[in-house]
């Protein structure tokens, strides 16, 4: 009887599902009943009855809850973890604020830069992916040059000759033909207003870009001669609250030839590389007789739309070959160019066409001179890299401080383990703690980002807002916070959870280690990054200084540029004479062609007389100026003379620069040279001056007489500038009462050419400061910790006769060593990176040794200051204080 | 109404309570089961009984303590149940509501029924 037990399986089942509180007593009941039944009716019946009872017991109130006690337990532990984390945070205010502060700075930087990058990557994504911009590529003297100006008939040829091209359209934004800035007014209004963003635009391109029309018919808006499409903001400016379609716009006072508004489109998105406001239709337009048919002048940016599913690489090759063979080469032959020269262009220099997807225009066009404002993929990488580094430095601080302060938590961990914590529990505790820190830091970082946004927008030249309302923003931020929290917590949690409880509780932990290899590595990394950023900042500022102080070959100070003088028509000469008579004015010249970027340019080829069919020609600039130009801008004549008003023959005189003289064979004075327009006699040679950015070499240049004056350059006497401007304004108002005076200064325009360098300098300064601050915070906390750990040792040393100086040196050297190592590592890398950067400039400063000397000195001084506070405090303390507790 | 809710006692629960009372001091799972089966001539499953006991204990009508370990139960303790003062009140309340209902039935109704 004793041996027989209830059936095993049902019993185990019962024991498994039953609530632990009830289990024993009910099991007792079951067994008692089983024995009774067995005695009464035999084993089989008892078994069956037992099974039945077990099955009937399987009901909600008896079954234990799915997690049983554990739910309660974990909740309690979590509460405990939070409590302890919080108490630790509050207890060590300095460490906590450094951890969180550093983290928050990293987060804020990362967030801003992520938004910046997102904005950059968003460019032109709203246009169809079938759209391509046609580029011309040619290799000259080892440099690959890209351009996008093509002959007028090329777009039509592309569409006609290639089935893969669904549509082709052009725009022309050259100021030579009246695009760009102009004076404008609605017909019937007297006062002119100044506006930029004029462009000649094909209806086909309008269709391809699929622009959104607010008024007018998108399909026919530009199909009438002298039609114009304007953006909504301009429609609101000139025709508020009315339907603008059909109204007339007068440009540059030419009331007899107004433009008729064919439609109003929405403003181009800020993330579009095409940014125009006045699109003038090309229907029936030609700038000179036969202009639309000629393959000799390249003025049109050409876009194509390819058929869906076309292999673009193959099409590119096909287009290039087709267009060159069918149009370019026959045209050159017709012009009498010898076959050797043609071969040179297409074989040796490998001239060909390329298709650039619109989505790549913004970031991958820094080598294309297209008069558009571009981003640069390298900047995106640079920014991204910096963001990552700042965050990494912050995370390193976190890891460093967590492991450094481990001694303080050792007893806690030992105790936890002694009362039954598993290692995994401790790991999750510290992960939780780090996530908590991360979340707090993210909140603060977010607030910081919000505050810094205006400043960031200023230096990055963007208008970014924090996308609170977008669905992805909150969750991805949270995910990022958790991710970074876990990442930063992994090492400390594994490190801390590995403590052996017995050793720790006995007090044997190797306390805090003077400098563990890992911690040293991290400090070295932080300082290397900071040093690279400091070197970068210094070099950029030096280059900027170099640019601003470089002798560019002309005098850019005290030159005022009066804009919009083309509306004066024939009166412009009288106006200039009147200005010249003023005592405040040194000289006045027509200033359409100015030695700064963004003013008028006119590319042309020159040959020595009689060589035009033999030589390839010198590709150069061809400017029309007046006799005052050379003096007004302070150009230096090295040979020959200036233009003279008295000599009628000077209408065919030309002044060239040294570069041109050299490329034409030298000794040019008095010789005659030819371009497509006519023959010119060289009367003077000026010293080379920089009329383009210092990134580029100086180009050949020829200047002839001409009266083109939409800008007057006025060289003023130094002295009271505001008074001079007042006087100029009064003269202006006499001549143009319906047009407000508009002016700028040549030196400002010059500096604006390098706005990107300045921006880069500011960005580097900001980030270098950030990186240094965060790294110093870390170093400060580490040194504080070290002093704390070694306070007894220091006290003993002091008692045994060490001087304050000895102690200070001992404590400081430890860290300075690391900074020195970081410096040695960073210098070659920084040198390499900045040399690469400077290669963008044809004219550049050198990276001299003093850049590194200054950087090294700064880094060491900063580190020294950071550490010395703690070191001196330790060295000056009364040894009794830390020894008496023993 | 709140009173009703407070002392709610199901039919089977009432029987269990009464039986625990009857078995005063000797009421544990098996004895209660047997007592009900012999007095009411109906089968009671261990599951049903234990559920009722647990619910009554949760409600505070019964309290329990573990008895000595005995051999015939393979070393499992017996869990003895006792009626609490609160449980007694509930039983009294149930009885009084029954009595009230009984006394409220008109004689005629009973007559008709019995005739």
Does A518 lie at the interface with B, CB-CB under 8 angstroms? no
Q: Do A53 and B78 touch (CB under 8 A)?
A: no
Mutation to test the B interface, candidates A11, A26, A54, most B Cβ within 10 Å: A26
Question: In whole angstroms, how far apart are CA A324 and each of A273, A311, A331, A446, A618?
Answer: 28, 20, 10, 56, 22
Please tell me what DSSP assigns to residue A592. S
First to last CA, chain B: 36
CA atoms of A645 and A483, how far apart (whole Å) = 76
Give the mean pLDDT of chain A: 85
Q: Do B29 and A61 touch (CB under 8 A)?
A: no
pLDDT of residue A344: 80
Does B4 lie at the interface with A, CB-CB under 8 angstroms? no
Q: Compute how many other C-beta atoms are within 10 angstroms of the C-beta atom of residue A585.
A: 21
B29 to chain A: closest CA residue:
A29
Q: Is the pLDDT of residue A265 over 90?
A: yes
Q: Do A62 and B33 touch (CB under 8 A)?
A: no
pLDDT per residue over A535-594, tens digit each? 888 888 888 888 888 888 888 888 888 887 877 777 888 888 888 888 888 888 887 888
Q: Do A29 and B47 touch (CB under 8 A)?
A: no
pLDDT of residue A203: 92
Contacts of A56 in chain B (CB under 8 A): 45-48
Q: Which residue has the higher pLDDT, B12 or A348?
A: B12
A833 closest CA partner among A847, A823, A820, A844: A847
Strands, E assignment, A286-382: 298-306, 352-357
Does A257 lie at the interface with B, CB-CB under 8 angstroms? no
Of the partner residues A31, A53, A58, the one whose CB lies closest to the CB of residue B73: A31
Residues A741/A562, Cβ–Cβ less than 8 Å: yes
Residues A282/A221, Cβ–Cβ less than 8 Å: no
Structure-token pair, residue A84: 């302890």
Structure-token pair, residue A312: 């673009």
Tell how far CA A702 is from the center of its chain: 37
Residues B67/B80, Cβ–Cβ less than 8 Å: yes
pLDDT of residue A865: 87
Please tell me what DSSP assigns to residue A212. P
Q: Do A62 and B50 touch (CB under 8 A)?
A: yes
SS3 assignment for A626-673? CCCHHHHCCCCEEEECCCCCCCHHHHHEEEEEHHHHHHCCCCCCCCEE
pLDDT of residue A199: 93
Q: Do A61 and B55 touch (CB under 8 A)?
A: yes
Does A223 lie at the interface with B, CB-CB under 8 angstroms? no
* Confidence tier at A509 by pLDDT (50, 70, 90): low
CA atoms of A867 and A862, how far apart (whole Å) = 9
Q: Is the pLDDT of residue B107 over 60?
A: yes
Q: Do B47 and A62 touch (CB under 8 A)?
A: yes
* Confidence tier at A825 by pLDDT (50, 70, 90): very high
* Confidence tier at A685 by pLDDT (50, 70, 90): very high
pLDDT per residue over B49-80, tens digit each? 988 998 898 888 999 888 877 777 777 888 89
Does B34 lie at the interface with A, CB-CB under 8 angstroms? no
Does A578 lie at the interface with B, CB-CB under 8 angstroms? no
CA atoms of A380 and A360, how far apart (whole Å) = 13
Of the partner residues B47, B76, B78, the one whose CB lies closest to the CB of residue A57: B47
A252 closest CA partner among A333, A175, A339: A175
Of the partner residues A27, A55, A61, the one whose CB lies closest to the CB of residue B54: A61
Q: Which helix (H) or strand (E) holds A754?
A: none
Q: Compute how many other C-beta atoms are within 10 angstroms of the C-beta atom of residue B28.
A: 22
Please tell me what DSSP assigns to residue A172. E
Residues A173/A276, Cβ–Cβ less than 8 Å: yes
Q: Is the pLDDT of residue B1 over 50?
A: no
Q: Do B30 and A29 touch (CB under 8 A)?
A: yes
Q: Do B51 and A59 touch (CB under 8 A)?
A: yes
Q: Compute how many other C-beta atoms are within 10 angstroms of the C-beta atom of residue A783.
A: 23
CA atoms of A782 and A527, how far apart (whole Å) = 14
Contacts of A52 in chain B (CB under 8 A): 45
Contacts of A31 in chain B (CB under 8 A): 72-74, 76
Does A885 lie at the interface with B, CB-CB under 8 angstroms? no
Residues A779/A867, Cβ–Cβ less than 8 Å: yes
**Phi and psi based region of residue A337 (left: phi greater than 0; alpha: psi -120 to 50; beta: remaining):** beta
Q: Do B46 and A30 touch (CB under 8 A)?
A: yes
A179 closest CA partner among A362, A360, A372: A372
Residue A347: Cβ-neighbour burial (10 angstroms; 0-12, 13-18, 19+): exposed
CA atoms of A855 and A860, how far apart (whole Å) = 8
Structure-token pair, residue A520: 């040293």
User: Which residues 61-80 in chain A show a CB within 8 A of chain B?
Assistant: 61-62
CA atoms of A446 and A601, how far apart (whole Å) = 47
Of the partner residues B47, B72, B79, the one whose CB lies closest to the CB of residue A25: B79
Please, what sign has the CA dihedral across residues A31, A33, A39, A43? negative
Q: What is the CA radius of gyration of chain A?
A: 39
* For range A220-248, the mean pLDDT: 90
pLDDT of residue B111: 66
Q: Compute how many other C-beta atoms are within 10 angstroms of the C-beta atom of residue A339.
A: 10
What does pTM read for this prediction? 0.68
Chain A: nearest CA to B109, how far in angstroms?
Answer: 41
Mutation to test the A interface, candidates B73, B75, B77, most A Cβ within 10 Å: B73
Q: Do B47 and A53 touch (CB under 8 A)?
A: yes
Structure-token pair, residue A412: 């806690």
pLDDT of residue B6: 65
Mutation to test the B interface, candidates A4, A30, A32, A57, most B Cβ within 10 Å: A32
Contacts of B77 in chain A (CB under 8 A): 24-25, 28
User: Which residues 69-98 in chain B show a CB within 8 A of chain A?
Assistant: 72-74, 76-79
Structure-token pair, residue A499: 């403590």
Of the partner residues A29, A35, A56, the one whose CB lies closest to the CB of residue B29: A29
A222 closest CA partner among A264, A262, A249, A181: A262
Q: Which helix (H) or strand (E) holds A137?
A: strand A131-140
CA atoms of A335 and A687, how far apart (whole Å) = 33
Q: Which helix (H) or strand (E) holds A216?
A: strand A213-216
pLDDT per residue over A850-873, tens digit each? 889 988 898 888 888 888 888 888
Chain A: nearest CA to B101, how far in angstroms?
Answer: 32
Buried b (16+ CB within 10 A) or exposed e, A19-47: eeebbbbbbbbbbbbbbebbeeeeeeebb
Provide the percentage of residues in chain A whose pLDDT is more than 70.
Answer: 97
Chain A: nearest CA to B81, how far in angstroms?
Answer: 12
Of the partner residues A5, A24, A32, the one whose CB lies closest to the CB of residue B30: A32
Of the partner residues B33, B55, B78, the one whose CB lies closest to the CB of residue A25: B78
Contacts of A33 in chain B (CB under 8 A): 30, 33, 46
Contacts of A62 in chain B (CB under 8 A): 47, 50-51, 54
Chain B: nearest CA to A69, how far in angstroms?
Answer: 17
Please tell me what DSSP assigns to residue A64. P
A53 to chain B: closest CA residue:
B46
Contacts of A57 in chain B (CB under 8 A): 45-47, 50
Q: Do B28 and A29 touch (CB under 8 A)?
A: yes
Q: Do A35 and B72 touch (CB under 8 A)?
A: yes
Does residue A701 sit in helix, strand or coil?
strand
A410 closest CA partner among A152, A51, A88, A705: A88
pLDDT of residue B110: 66
Residue A92 phi, psi (nearest 5)? -105, 75
First to last CA, chain A: 70
Mutation to test the B interface, candidates A25, A31, A35, most B Cβ within 10 Å: A25
Structure-token pair, residue A650: 């000077």
Interface A-B: count of C-beta contacts within 8 A: 68
Does residue A307 sit in helix, strand or coil?
coil
CA atoms of A589 and A576, how far apart (whole Å) = 8
pLDDT per residue over A759-810, tens digit each? 878 887 888 888 888 888 888 877 887 787 788 888 888 889 888 888 888 8
Q: Is the pLDDT of residue B115 over 50?
A: no
Structure-token pair, residue A876: 């000056």
Mutation to test the A interface, candidates B74, B75, B77, most A Cβ within 10 Å: B74
Which stretches of A715-754 are DSSP H helices?
Answer: 721-735, 746-752
Residue B62 phi, psi (nearest 5)? -120, 150
Of the partner residues A22, A33, A59, the one whose CB lies closest to the CB of residue B30: A33
Q: Percent helix, strand and coil across chain A, each rounded to 5?
A: 55, 15, 30
Chain A: nearest CA to B48, how far in angstroms?
Answer: 7
Q: Do B76 and A25 touch (CB under 8 A)?
A: yes
Q: Which helix (H) or strand (E) holds A235?
A: helix A232-238
CA atoms of A251 and A187, how far apart (whole Å) = 9
- What is A413-431 written as a DSSP string? HHHHHHTT--HHHHHHHHH
| Cα-based torsion angle of the residue sequence A480, A481, A487, A492 in order, rounded to the nearest 10 degrees | 180
Residues B83/B30, Cβ–Cβ less than 8 Å: no
pLDDT of residue A168: 93
* For range B24-38, the mean pLDDT: 89
pLDDT of residue B113: 54
Identify the residue whose tokens are 């006792």: B82
Contacts of B50 in chain A (CB under 8 A): 22, 26, 29, 57, 62
Residue A515: Cβ-neighbour burial (10 angstroms; 0-12, 13-18, 19+): middle
CA atoms of B70 and B80, how far apart (whole Å) = 13
pLDDT of residue A510: 54
**Beta-bridge mates of residue A18:** A63
């Amino acid at each position: 009887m004793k041996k027989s037990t209830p059936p095993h399986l049902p019993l185990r089942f019962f024991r498994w599902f039953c609530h632990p509180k009830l289990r024993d007593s009910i099991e007792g009941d079951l067994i008692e009943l089983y024995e009774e039944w067995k005695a009464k009716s035999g084993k089989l019946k008892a078994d069956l009855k037992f099974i039945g009872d077990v099955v009937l017991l399987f009901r909600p109130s008896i079954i234990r809850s799915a997690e049983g006690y554990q739910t309660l337990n974990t909740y309690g532990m979590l509460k405990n973890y939070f409590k302890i984390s919080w108490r630790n945070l509050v207890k060590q205010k300095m460490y906590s604020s450094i951890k969180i502060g550093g983290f928050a700075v990293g987060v804020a930087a990362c967030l801003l830069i992520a938004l910046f990058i997102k904005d950059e990557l968003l460019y032109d994504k709203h246009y169809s992916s079938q759209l391509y911009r046609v580029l011309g590529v040619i290799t000259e003297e080892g440099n690959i040059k890209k351009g996008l100006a093509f002959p007028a008939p090329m777009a039509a040829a592309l569409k006609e000759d290639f089935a893969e091209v669904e549509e082709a359209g052009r725009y022309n934004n050259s100021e030579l033909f009246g695009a760009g800035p102009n004076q404008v007014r609605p017909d019937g209004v007297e006062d002119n207003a100044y506006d930029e963003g004029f462009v000649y635009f094909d209806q086909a391109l309008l269709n391809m870009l699929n622009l959104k029309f607010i008024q007018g018919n998108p399909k026919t808006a530009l199909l009438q001669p002298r039609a114009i499409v304007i953006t909504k903001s301009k429609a609101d400016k000139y025709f508020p609250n009315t339907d603008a379609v059909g109204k007339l716009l007068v440009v540059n006072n030419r009331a007899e030839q107004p433009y008729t508004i064919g439609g109003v489109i929405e403003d181009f998105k800020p993330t579009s590389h095409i940014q125009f406001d006045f699109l003038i239709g090309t229907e029936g337009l030609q700038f000179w007789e036969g202009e639309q048919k000629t393959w000799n002048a390249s003025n049109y940016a050409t876009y194509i739309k390819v058929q869906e599913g076309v292999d673009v690489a193959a099409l590119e090759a096909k287009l290039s070959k087709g267009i060159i063979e069918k149009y370019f080469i026959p045209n050159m032959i017709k012009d009498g160019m010898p076959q050797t020269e043609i071969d040179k262009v297409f074989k040796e220099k490998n001239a060909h066409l390329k298709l650039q997807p619109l989505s790549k225009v913004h970031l991958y066009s820094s080598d294309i001179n297209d008069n558009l404002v571009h981003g640069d993929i390298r900047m995106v990488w640079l920014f991204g890299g910096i963001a990552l580094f700042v965050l990494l430095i912050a995370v390193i601080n976190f890891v460093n401080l967590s492991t450094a302060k481990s001694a303080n938590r050792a007893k806690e961990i030992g105790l936890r383990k002694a009362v039954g914590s598993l290692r995994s529990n401790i790991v999750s505790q510290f992960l939780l703690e780090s996530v908590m820190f991360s979340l707090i830091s993210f909140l603060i970082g977010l607030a910081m980002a919000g505050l810094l946004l205006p400043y960031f927008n200023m230096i990055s030249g963007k208008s970014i807002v924090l996308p609170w309302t977008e669905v992805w923003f909150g969750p991805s931020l949270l995910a990022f916070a958790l991710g970074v929290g876990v990442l930063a917590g992994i090492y400390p949690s594994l490190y801390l959870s590995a403590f052996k409880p017995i050793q720790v509780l006995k007090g044997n932990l190797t306390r805090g280690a003077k400098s563990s290899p890992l911690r040293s590595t991290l400090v070295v990394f932080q300082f290397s990054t900071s040093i690279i950023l400091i070197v970068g900042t210094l070099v950029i500022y030096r280059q900027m200084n170099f640019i601003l102080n470089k002798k560019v070959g002309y005098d850019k100070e005290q030159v005022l540029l009066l804009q919009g003088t083309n509306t004066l028509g024939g009166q412009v000469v009288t106006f200039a004479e009147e200005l010249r008579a003023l005592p405040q004015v040194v000289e006045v010249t027509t200033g359409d062609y100015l030695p700064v970027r963004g003013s008028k340019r006119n590319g042309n080829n020159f040959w020595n007389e009689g060589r035009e069919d033999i030589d390839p020609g010198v590709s150069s600039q061809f400017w029309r100026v007046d006799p005052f130009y050379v003096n007004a801008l302070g150009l230096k004549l090295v040979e020959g003379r200036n233009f003279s008003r008295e000599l009628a023959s000077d209408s065919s005189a030309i002044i060239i620069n040294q570069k041109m003289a050299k490329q034409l064979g030298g000794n040019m004075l008095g010789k005659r040279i030819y371009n497509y327009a006519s023959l010119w006699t060289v009367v003077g040679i000026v010293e080379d001056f920089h009329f383009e950015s210092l990134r580029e070499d100086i180009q050949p240049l020829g200047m002839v007489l001409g009266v083109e004056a939409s800008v007057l350059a006025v060289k003023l006497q130094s002295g009271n500038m505001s008074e001079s401007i007042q006087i100029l304004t009064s003269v202006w108002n006499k001549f143009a009462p319906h047009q407000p005076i508009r002016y700028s200064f040549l030196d400002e325009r010059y500096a604006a050419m390098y706005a990107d360098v300045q921006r880069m300098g500011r960005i580097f300064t900001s980030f270098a400061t950030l990186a240094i601050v965060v790294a110093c915070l870390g170093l400060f906390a580490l040194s504080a910790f070290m002093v704390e750990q070694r306070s007894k040792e220091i006290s003993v040393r002091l008692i045994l006769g060490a001087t304050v100086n000895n102690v200070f040196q001992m404590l400081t050297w430890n860290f300075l060593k690391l900074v020195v190592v970081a410096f040695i590592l960073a210098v070659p890398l920084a040198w390499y990176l900045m040399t690469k950067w400077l290669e963008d400039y044809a004219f550049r400063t050198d990276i001299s040794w003093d850049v590194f000397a200054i950087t090294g000195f700064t880094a060491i001084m900063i580190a020294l200051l950071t550490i010395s506070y703690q070191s001196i405090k330790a060295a000056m303390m009364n040894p009794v204080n830390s020894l008496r507790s023993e | 109404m709140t009173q009703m809710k407070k002392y709610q006692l199901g039919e089977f629960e009432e029987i269990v309570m009464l039986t625990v009372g009857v078995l005063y001091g000797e009421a544990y799972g098996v004895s209660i089961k047997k007592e009900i089966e012999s007095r009411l001539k109906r089968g009671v499953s261990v599951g049903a009984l234990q559920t009722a006991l647990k619910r009554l204990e949760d409600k505070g009508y019964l309290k329990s303590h573990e008895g000595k370990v005995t051999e015939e139960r393979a070393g499992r303790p017996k869990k003895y149940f006792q009626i609490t003062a609160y449980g007694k009140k509930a039983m009294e309340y149930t009885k009084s509501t029954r009595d009230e209902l009984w006394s409220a039935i008109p004689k005629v109704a009973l007559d008709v029924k019995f005739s």
